Structure formats: C-alpha cells, structure tokens
C-alpha cells in the first residue's frame, strides 16, 4: 500500500527548525550535488532575525522534506557580477530589478526520494508566495542549472509560469555549467492559474486572505 504523506510547510522561526532545514540542505546541496562544502554556511543562524530573508520548510510529522529561501530586494550588483546574458536583447535586466519589487527564490531543495511528490515543492511555493504577496512584492526571480538532471526548470515554467530571461556561468554555488535566470510576474501567474482552477492554484493560495486575492485579481 502506498504511504500517503501529510505534508505541511511553514516559515522557519526557531533554531530547531533551522537544524531541520540544514539537514535537507546537507543531504541535497552538500552530499548529493556537491554544490557547497558545508551546508551550515547556507543558513546562518543570523538569518532567523533578518527582515530581508525568509526560510521555509516542508514537513511530514517531524521529518523535514524540503526547504526554500526567499531573499527580498536582492541587490542589483549581485546579478551584475554574474555576467548575465539576456535572452531577449531588448530587456534591461538592471532596470527591471530597479523598477520592480522583486523577491528571489533560492536554496530550493527536496529530499531525493521525494522529488516525484510535487506536493512538497507546491507546499513550499505556496507558503512562500503567501508571505511574498502579503508584503506586496510583484516579481519572483530564480536561477536553475541547465545541466542538472533534477532541475526544476519544467516545474517552474510549465506549472508555475516562470519565463527565462538570461543565462550566466557564474553564481554562488559550486556548479560548473550554465544557469538560466527565470522571472515570474506574480499577478499574471495568479490570473492564469486561477482561470485553470486546478489543484495547484488551490495549493498555492491556501490560507490567503480575501484582500490578497483582490490584490491580484484586479
């Protein structure tokens, strides 16, 4: 009989939850992918008190299943030093970052044996997006690795609606290969997903207030 996981996601606010998040990062980013030498450096304890960073964790009972980090208002200089090559030559990425309220999705990881459970990633994106929308951010930005066989590129583009805008070879992680930078217009994605009315829209908007729905429906 197939085991049915009861998956919940929440914001990381305690030292105990931070250790659970680090456990997922160690299994994935450190041991499996070798993208970092020491997973503990990815989630400093000081992040718990920062207003510009939020971490989220997906749990089944006491077992951590996945983790995600949101960085609010990422500095333009961070992206410029990566040497971004725009896919659309008419797009001014520096200007876009200046003009929009952008939140960066990063350190998105799911335990290897649970990657086929889309609900883990969906719960994480749902709880993160709820906070992002409540803080009135309008765009999401993230990087995926082109050559990674577990890349979430398909999930991000086909399911959520991210659009590729640039590529680059350099980043924070120890990965040799091209990165693809993706952006998501939150309002446009909300309206598209709502028109479909499927399970993913319900998962993404679980716990939203009426005001949050009105904010994106107009």
Better-predicted residue by pLDDT, 98 or 186: 186
CATH number where 151 lies: 3.40.630
The answer to whether residue 24 sits within a structural domain is no
102-110 and 139-145 beta bridge pairing: parallel
- Is the pLDDT at 2 greater than 70? The verdict is no
**Tens of pLDDT, residues 34-77:** 999 999 999 999 999 999 999 999 999 999 999 999 999 988 77
**131 CB neighbour count, 10 Å cutoff:** 15
Q: 3 or 192: which carries more pLDDT confidence?
A: 192
Between 86 and 26, where is the model more confident? 26
Residue 109 covered by a domain: yes
Task: Supply the pLDDT for residue 173.
Answer: 87
The span from the CA of 36 to the CA of 29, in Å, is 6
- The tally of domains found in the chain comes to 1
Question: What's the average model confidence in pLDDT over 174-184?
Answer: 89
pLDDT of the residue at 4: 53
Has residue 138 been placed in a domain? yes
Cα dihedral 123, 124, 126, 131 sign = positive
> Quick one: pLDDT at residue 1?
36
- Give residue 148's pLDDT band: very low, low, confident or very high (50, 70, 90): confident
Query: Going edge to edge, which strands form the sheet with 53-60?
Result: 8-11, 53-60, 63-72, 102-110, 139-145, 179-185, 163-168, 85-86
* Length reported for the chain: 218
Q: Range of 188's domain?
A: 68-217
Q: What's the confidence (pLDDT) of residue 89?
A: 72
In a domain, 43, yes or no: no
For residue 192, being part of any structural domain is answered with yes
Spell out the SS3 assignment of the chain: CCCCCCCEEEECCCHHHHHHHHHHHHHHHHHHCCCCCCHHHHCCHHHHHCCCEEEEEEEECCEEEEEEEEEECCCHHHHHCCCCEECCCCCCHHHHHHHCCEEEEEEEEECHHHCCCHHHHHHHHHHHHHHHHHCCCCEEEEEEECCCCCCCHHHHHHHHCCEEEEEECCCCCCCCCCEEEEEEEHHHHHHHHHHHCCHHHHHHCCCCCHHHHHHHHC
Phi/psi for 91 (5° steps) reads: -85, 125
- Percent share of the chain, pLDDT over 70: 98
More confident residue, 177 or 22: 22
- Whether residue 52 lies inside any domain: the answer is no
Confidence band for 149, pLDDT divided at 50, 70 and 90: confident
Assess if residue 13 is contained within a domain. Answer: no
Each residue of 119-145: pLDDT tens digit?
899 899 999 999 999 999 999 999 999
Provide the pLDDT confidence category of residue 97 given band limits of 50, 70 and 90.
confident
Domain assignment present for 41: no
């Amino acid at each position: 009989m197939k085991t049915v996981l009861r998956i919940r996601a929440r914001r990381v606010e305690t030292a105990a939850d931070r250790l659970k998040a680090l456990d997922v990062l160690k299994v994935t980013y450190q041991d499996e992918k070798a993208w970092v030498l020491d997973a503990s450096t990815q989630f400093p304890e000081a992040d718990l008190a920062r207003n510009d960073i939020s971490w989220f964790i997906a749990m089944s009972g006491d077992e951590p299943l996945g983790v995600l980090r949101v960085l609010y208002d990422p500095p333009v200089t961070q992206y410029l030093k990566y040497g971004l090559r725009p896919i659309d030559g008419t797009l001014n990425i520096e200007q876009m970052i200046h003009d929009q309220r952008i939140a960066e999705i990063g350190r998105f990881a799911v335990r290897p044996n649970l990657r086929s459970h889309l609900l883990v990633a969906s719960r994480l994106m749902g709880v993160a997006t709820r906070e992002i929308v409540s803080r009135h951010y309008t765009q999401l930005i993230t990087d995926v690795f082109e050559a990674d066989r577990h890349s979430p590129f398909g999930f991000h583009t086909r399911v959520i609606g991210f659009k590729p805008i640039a590529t680059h070879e350099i980043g924070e992680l120890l990965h040799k290969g091209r990165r693809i930078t993706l952006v998501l217009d939150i309002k446009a994605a909300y309206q598209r997903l709502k028109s479909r009315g499927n399970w993913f829209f319900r998962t993404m908007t679980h716990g939203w207030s009426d005001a949050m729905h009105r904010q994106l429906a107009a």
